[in-house]
């Protein structure tokens, strides 16, 4: 055989082998479908804008949900995203109307087979209250994740985009299911009952004192350490199904030389419950105790919490709760005690039962 014929034969053989190999190779597995996450925007600094990228003054709730999504195209690799604008307000203006609308929409969405999780963008000022409210009234184990930002979207080193990306990653993560409503901010995953805002301006403003973090998340990579503290979501007996309005509950901060004037004023304004942000372990002056006890006798439910940022308010430590007819907030700070008390009052005025709620939730 000539050299040329040998070369042609070898080539034909090689092509045949390559084709054979191609035919027998297993087809590449199809990529897993992305989860479907709905983004509900409510406003806040994450949607805020300033006239320049280095100024402190800005306005919350200026950017719409579509702009918010467009600003983080990387999140589309984590999930199929659909946005809805629920409100566009600074969360200092958060109110019952938005709460009920938001909670109802989350319940509708999470009941849909095709929805895998929900992300809510919110302001940082009251995110802990909204998260805790949702934790008590959302009826789903699917991930419901709130996020926020300390710097407006126009700021130098805005924190919103990465917080949003991380929130989507957590909502898209199957391991987030069944851990109650979560808040993802500055790489940390907080439980709704534990987190609290601790700095007016620092990026690392949210802490979960006493109970610690649910997990951490770095560039979408989440680690989970614990489950939620307290009954929540599908295990909560509170429901907004038939509720049109929530009862008024006021928070009054205790201080040196406190009298009973604000306690009486709260009841005169229509409060059905009062939360005292007490000094130390939920303490207050004798004058305030007497004024509060007089309201408790009339059927106003009075909860002792604390203005101190960490630690529990124990039952009957320095104040005899049985004698006065009070409820101790245990692990809940004043703002979350108010949320629980409002929902509790939709069910009962019985102080023993309400103390049991504070034990369990």
Q: Given the complex with ligand ASP, which of 91 and 355 has the nearer CB atom?
A: 91
* Among positions 60, 193, 305, 333, the unique one binding ligand ASP when judged by CB under 6 A: 60
- Give the separation between CA 338 and CA 332, rounded to whole angstroms: 9
Q: How far is the CB of 107 from ligand ASP (least distance, A)?
A: 24
Q: In the complex, what is the shortest distance from the CB of residue 132 to ligand ASP, in angstroms, rounded to a whole number?
A: 15
Asked whether the beta carbons of 291 and 326 are under 8 A apart, the reply is: no
Q: Which SS3 state, helix, strand or coil, does residue 42 take? A: strand
What is the number of the residue whose Cβ is closest to ligand ASP? 123
Torsion of CA 252, 255, 259, 264, to 10 degrees: 0
Out of 35, 38, 41, 44, name the contact with ligand ASP by CB under 6 A: 44
Kindly state whether residue 45 participates in binding ligand ASP, applying the rule CB under 6 A: yes
Specify the 3-state DSSP secondary structure of 24: helix
How do beta strands 273-278 and 249-253 pair?
parallel
Whose Cβ is closer to ligand ASP: residue 125's or residue 250's?
Answer: 125
Question: Among candidates 125, 165, 147, 151, which has minimal Cα distance to 53?
Answer: 151
Counting contacts by CB under 6 A, is residue 128 touching ligand ASP? no
How do 188-191 and 215-218 pair as beta strands? antiparallel
Among 52, 55, 92, 347, interactor with ligand ASP by CB under 6 A: 92
C-beta of 210: minimal distance to ligand ASP in Å?
23
**Least distance (Å) from ligand ASP to the CB of residue 182?**
17
Q: Contact at 8 Å (CB) between 45 and 148?
A: yes
Closest contact distance (angstroms) between CB of 94 and ligand ASP is: 8
Does 45 participate in catalysis according to the annotation? yes
The answer to the question of residue 160 lying near ligand ASP (CB under 6 A) is no
Is there binding between residue 147 and ligand ASP (CB under 6 A)? Answer: no
DSSP letters for 292-322: HHHHHHTT-EEEEEESSSSS-B-TTSSS-HH
Question: Which one, 126 or 173, has the nearer CB to ligand ASP?
Answer: 126
Min separation Cβ 148 and ligand ASP, Å: 5
199 part of the interface to ligand ASP, by CB under 6 A: no
Q: Which residues contact 294 (CB under 8 A, 6 or more apart)?
A: 260
Q: Taking a C-beta distance cutoff of 8 angstroms, is the pair 80, 31 a contact?
A: no
Complex with ligand ASP: residue 45 or 110, whichever CB lies closer: 45
Q: Which range binds ligand ASP by CB under 6 A, 21-29, 88-96, 139-147, 260-268? A: 88-96
Report DSSP state, residue 279: B
Question: Which C-beta is closer to ligand ASP: that of 125 or that of 187?
Answer: 125
The residue within the footprint of ligand ASP, chosen from 63, 146, 150, 185 (CB under 6 A), is 150
CA-nearest of 221, 313, 214, 297 to 263 is 297
Verify binding: residue 40, ligand ASP, rule CB under 6 A.
no
# residues contacting ligand ASP (CB under 6 A)? 11
Shortest separation between residue 42's beta carbon and ligand ASP, angstroms: 9
Task: Assess 90 for contact with ligand ASP (CB under 6 A).
Answer: yes
Q: Can residue 163 be called a binding residue for ligand ASP (CB under 6 A)?
A: no
Question: For 28-39, b where at least 16 C-beta lie within 10 A, e where not — what string?
Answer: eeeeeeebbbbb
Query: Residue 123, interface with ligand ASP (CB under 6 A)?
Result: yes
Q: Could you say which of 42, 45, 124, 196 is catalytic?
A: 45
Residue 310 · residue 302 · CB < 8 Å: no
**Rounded CA gap, 331 and 176, in Å?**
23
d(CA 148, CA 162): 10
Judged by the rule CB under 6 A, the positions of this chain that interact with ligand ASP are 44-45, 60, 90-92, 123-125, 148, 150
Enzyme catalytic residues = 45
């Amino acid at each position: 055989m000539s050299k040329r014929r040998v070369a042609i034969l070898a080539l034909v053989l090689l092509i045949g082998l390559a084709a054979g190999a191609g035919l027998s190779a297993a087809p590449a597995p199809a990529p897993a479908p992305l989860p479907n996450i709905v983004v509900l925007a409510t406003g806040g600094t994450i949607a805020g804008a300033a006239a320049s990228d280095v100024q402190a003054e800005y306005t919350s709730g200026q950017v719409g949900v579509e702009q918010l999504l467009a600003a983080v195209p990387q999140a589309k690799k984590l999930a199929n995203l659909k946005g809805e604008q629920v409100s566009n307000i600074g969360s200092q203006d958060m109110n019952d109307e938005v709460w009920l609308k938001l909670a109802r929409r989350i319940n509708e969405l999470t009941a849909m087979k095709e929805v895998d999780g929900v992300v809510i963008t919110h302001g940082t000022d009251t995110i802990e209250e909204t998260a805790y409210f949702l934790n008590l009234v959302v009826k789903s184990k699917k991930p419901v994740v709130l996020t926020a930002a300390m710097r407006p979207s126009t700021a130098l080193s805005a924190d919103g985009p990465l917080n949003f990306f991380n929130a989507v990653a957590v909502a898209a993560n199957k391991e987030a299911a069944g851990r109650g409503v979560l808040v993802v901010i500055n790489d940390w995953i907080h439980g709704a009952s534990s987190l609290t805002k601790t700095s007016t301006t620092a990026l690392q403003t949210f802490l979960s004192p006493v109970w610690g973090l649910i997990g951490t998340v770095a560039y979408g990579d989440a680690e989970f350490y614990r489950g939620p503290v307290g009954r929540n979501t599908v295990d909560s007996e509170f429901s907004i199904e038939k509720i049109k309005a929530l009862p008024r509950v006021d928070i009054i901060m205790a201080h040196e030389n406190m009298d009973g004037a604000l306690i009486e004023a709260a009841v005169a304004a229509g409060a059905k419950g009062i939360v005292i942000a007490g000094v130390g372990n939920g303490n207050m002056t004798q004058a305030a105790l007497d004024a509060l006890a007089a309201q408790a006798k009339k059927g106003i439910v009075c909860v002792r919490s604390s203005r101190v940022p960490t630690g529990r308010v124990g039952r009957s430590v320095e104040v005899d709760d049985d004698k006065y007819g009070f409820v101790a907030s245990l692990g809940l700070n004043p703002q979350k005690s108010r949320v629980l008390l409002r929902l509790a009052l939709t069910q009962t005025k019985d102080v023993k039962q309400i103390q049991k709620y504070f034990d369990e939730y």
